[in-house]
Structure 1
Amino acid sequence: MRIPVPIVLAAMLFVTPGYAGLDKLPLYGPDPQVTFTEVALYPDQPERRDLGPLTYLGGMAMASFDPAFGGFSAMTTDGRTFLLLSDGGNWMRFSMPVFGRPGKPVFGDLTDGPGGGWLKEDRDTEAMTADPATGRIWVAYERKNAIWRYVPGPGPVRSDAHVRPKAMRRWELNRGAEAMVRFADGQFLVLGEDPIWGVPDHFPAFLFARDPTLPGVKAVPLRYRTEDKYRVTDAAELPDGNLIVVLRRFDMPYRWRVRLGIIDRATIVPDGTAPVRTIAEFGEGTRVENYEALAVTREGKDVILWIASDDNQSILQQSLLMKFRLDMRKAGAE
């Protein structure tokens, strides 16, 4: 995701390298060093952990001097192993059996993908999903409006199938696939970032009956609806089959607004409109960032939400990894 206000982009040029995507993409060096620093949800009230139906279990700020580090826009995890993908096609993988004590990260980049991979527009990756049973990974390329499938491995390295669905080619180059979910039943949902012309707070989406990279799989259109000019940046399936989504809005002069919402699975139907119901908001006093990555895991009976932020590779922002417990009853998700 690029900051959606041209004036702000111009003002931030000196702190946001490579913003225009015209230079060669930075790749990770031979041995990037990453620091993980504990952070509070409420910086001025570090003991406070409530956020609507969520309980904050801890968080870390991730930082590195490597120029390719950051920009994380998608994530997959089983709660122990984490794969974070940037919007420039670079990925970082690390294990963390005990929260707050991560192992040494492994780094890579998407050598397989659209185009030659020289420019940012070739590797503008905003969404990722996985099949835990096979280890396969699917990555959505926003500017190319394409979906690529990758074989199991330490990260998305080698692709064995890809598709550019005809129905998605009409999406604007810089407002394409922003979130993608593989449901437990094998269906896929891809959510677009650009509102439908003339219909405020309505956004396009496509449902696939199975792996969209397989021959003959059709993209079935539908819409999702938000409120107050918020846009979905990522989505994940909850244990009950509904979706939880991250919602973001950018306001002048340089302010992020973030909410969490739920989409009822029953409303995700062909040609239908699926409303997003807000359940929590990062309000006054919370650590608000450009949250773009979301994953759901289980710890016993607890439903765990993992949220990561895209720092736009700016010195004014942070790459965060936050952990929450979701009370499904309080969220009205059951």
Structure 2
Amino acid sequence: MSRFSRRRVLALAAGGALSAAGLSVAIARNRPPHAIDEVPITVRAAPFEELGVGGLGRVEFLGGLVLTSDSRDFGGLSGLFMDPDGRGLLALSDRGYWVAGTLVTENGRPRALADARVAPMQGPGGRALPRSRRRDTESLTIWRGMAYVGIEGVHEVLRFPIGRDGLAARGEVMPLPAEVKTLPENQSFEAVAVVPLGPLAGSVIAIAERSDPGDDTPTRGWFVTGPGGRFTVARRGGYDVTDAAFLPSGDLLILERRLGWLSGWGMRIRRVEGSAVRPGALLDGPTLLELGSPARIDNMEGLAVHSDARGVVLTLISDDNFFLLQKTVLLQFRLAGTPAA
């Protein structure tokens, strides 16, 4: 979410995602005729070693980083995707920029973001998103070389042939039902994901942050491709949806966030059975992870999933809203009880 008014106060290769190095190679080497310049930037990484809380249940905290850069285009990171090998990182800002880099780890723990670069996203006809009404890009996933991006304000989902054109890919508007235009201007498509398994495999879903008034009113989601139709996602406790990602098992993880005047930032991840994701359903599930004070988190808006030799890794990133009193935090957790890759 890009505005301060409310807030301040690939899949696996077997599922059709890019190969282990595919995203990095596509971004680094492909130069289509309409290529744009990617600007190298330096990103500093300070350790975020301790959450200040215990009892994380079914997840293990691997570590985290506080990321800073002198680039004015770095920040506001709201969507996130990790290469299947856990090294290539692609994020997008809510000012319409790609942010790419290589996540450096040591003994399975994040240590730095290397080879970082930014580039303006391009919409239909090659128009730069930072200079358009589509600049508020909020959510990201990649499937079979295609990046799907949810945009607030205009309530759209764009697809980018990133596997072919890298960061120079031009977005194409995907058809959506007319009712999405009734969503609140600053509370729409915070989450996009692609169903990896089952009869609906390959279907793109998009979920609104908070489609209707009320702290416990379900929010709406749509099948952008596949069967079509609408579903809803249960909400409670004042949490809003900020991202979603599927596990290799086919279950759906939903990332949520809230802000309290006294309690500060809070985040929650719920796990929804994959078989429940279908048109007409009300999606809900148990809490996998919940963090608030005294954890020193921020406005957690991006969620990505990949597997390593020890199991499934969850990577989260925060949107600092380009505001001095907030920070860009990257956190990683391992999901307990998951099979090795």
TM more than 0.5: yes
Match of 1:263 among 263, 272, 275: 272
| Structure 2, unpaired ranges of 5+ | 10-36
Match of 1:175 among 172, 187, 196: 187
Aligned pair in 2 of structure 1 residues 122, 84: CA closer, same or farther (>3 Å)? same
Match of 2:61 among 56, 59, 76: 56
Q: Tell me how far 1:288 sits from its aligned partner.
A: 1.9
CA distance in 2, matches of 1:251, 1:316: 15
SS at match of 1:289: coil
SS at match of 1:70: coil
1:89 aligns with 2:96: yes
CA distance in 1, matches of 2:6, 2:180: 25
Contact 1:206 1:220 in 2 (8 A): yes
* Greater mean alpha carbon deviation, residues 164-173 or residues 77-86: 164-173
Match of 1:165 among 150, 171, 176: 176
CA distance in 2, matches of 1:251, 1:119: 33
1:306 aligns with 2:322: no
Aligned pair in 2 of structure 1 residues 8, 270: CA closer, same or farther (>3 Å)? closer
Q: What is the match of residue 186 of structure 1?
A: 202
Match of 1:145 among 119, 137, 155: 155
Amino acid corresponding to residue 149 of structure 2 in structure 1:
V
CA distance in 1, matches of 2:252, 2:133: 29
Q: What is the match of residue 332 of structure 1?
A: none
Contact 1:88 1:124 in 2 (8 A): yes
Deviations for 1:93-125, whole angstroms, at most 9, x for unmatched residues? Answer: 112353414322121111325976355742111
Contact 1:112 1:157 in 2 (8 A): no
Amino acid corresponding to residue 63 of structure 2 in structure 1:
G
Q: Tell me how far 1:292 sits from its aligned partner.
A: 0.3
RMSD of aligned Cα (Å): 2.7
Deviations for 1:175-232, whole angstroms, at most 9, x for unmatched residues? Answer: 211100012220111101124357933100112443xxxxxxx631110102212111
| Structure 1, unpaired ranges of 5+ | 10-27, 211-217, 330-334
More helix as a share of residues: 2
Aligned pair in 2 of structure 1 residues 240, 76: CA closer, same or farther (>3 Å)? same
Q: Tell me how far 1:31 sits from its aligned partner.
A: 4.5
Match of 1:109 among 101, 111, 120: 120
CA distance in 1, matches of 2:268, 2:114: 30
Report % sequence identity.
24
CA distance in 2, matches of 1:143, 1:72: 17
Runs (4 or more) in structure 1 with deviation over 6 Å come to: none
* Greater mean alpha carbon deviation, residues 87-96 or residues 49-58: 49-58
1:239 aligns with 2:248: yes
Q: Give TM-score scaled by structure 2 length.
A: 0.78
| Matched residue count | 298
* Greater mean alpha carbon deviation, residues 318-327 or residues 95-104: 95-104
Amino acid corresponding to residue 232 of structure 1 in structure 2:
V
SS at match of 2:138: strand
SS at match of 2:275: helix
Q: Give TM-score scaled by structure 1 length.
A: 0.80
Aligned pair in 2 of structure 1 residues 328, 144: CA closer, same or farther (>3 Å)? farther
